[in-house]
Amino acid sequence: MRPLPKKPVLDSVRNDINVTPLVDVCLVLLIIFMVITPLMARGKEVPLPETSYHSKEKDRLQPVVSIDKNETIWLAGTLSTGKQELMEIGKLNDKDLGPKLKEKVEWLWDQAKGPEAKGRLFIKVDSHLQYGRIYPLIMLLNDQAEGLGITSIDLGTAEKKD
């Protein structure tokens, strides 16, 4: 006759690790990041002009040029490390704006998170600024598009609420 196996003693030390709490914490953190990540705005926060026809195209992590109500130009982008970079470039009426902007945009594209961001630029302008104030910046970007490698300039708007 075969001897019966020993019953485990409840008070004895166990050699295996209980990973259930670790998995629970990781899943909760994953859910939190999945919910929060789309809500994070990139670039300097400015109130955008509202339009009826608003594009819902996916963000491609391209550099964002933001102009606030004080006519200060900000440049933001996502680095390959995932870190958000926000830099003040200067004022709209600065004489050396072109070289500064070119240097920073090229640096951001070199550090860009994805290859689809290269060549694209996103412009966000405070809704209180008149078009005539930002026109020189748009023309500067257009004139230097080939030298900067810009293939597409996207203008940021907010969806008009009825």
Give the domain ranges of the chain.
Answer: 41-159
> Is the per-residue pLDDT at 113 higher than 60?
no
> Is the per-residue pLDDT at 18 higher than 80?
yes
pLDDT on residue 149:
73
Pick the CATH number of 41-159 from 1.10.3720, 3.30.1890, 3.30.420, 3.40.50: 3.30.420
pLDDT on residue 116:
61
Residues 6+ apart with CB under 8 A from 80: 111, 112, 113
E strand or H helix that includes residue 99: helix 97-110
Residues 6+ apart with CB under 8 A from 98: 140, 144
Task: Give CA–CA dist 10/4, Å, rounded.
Answer: 18
> Is the per-residue pLDDT at 55 higher than 70?
no
Instruction: Return mean pLDDT, the chain.
Output: 77
Q: Output the six-digit token pair for 133.
A: 């104030």
pLDDT on residue 53:
66
Query: What's the mean pLDDT in 116-144?
Result: 78
Cβ atoms < 10 Å from Cβ of 63: 28
φ/ψ of 141, rounded to 5, equals -65, -40
**Residue scoring higher pLDDT (73 or 106):** 73
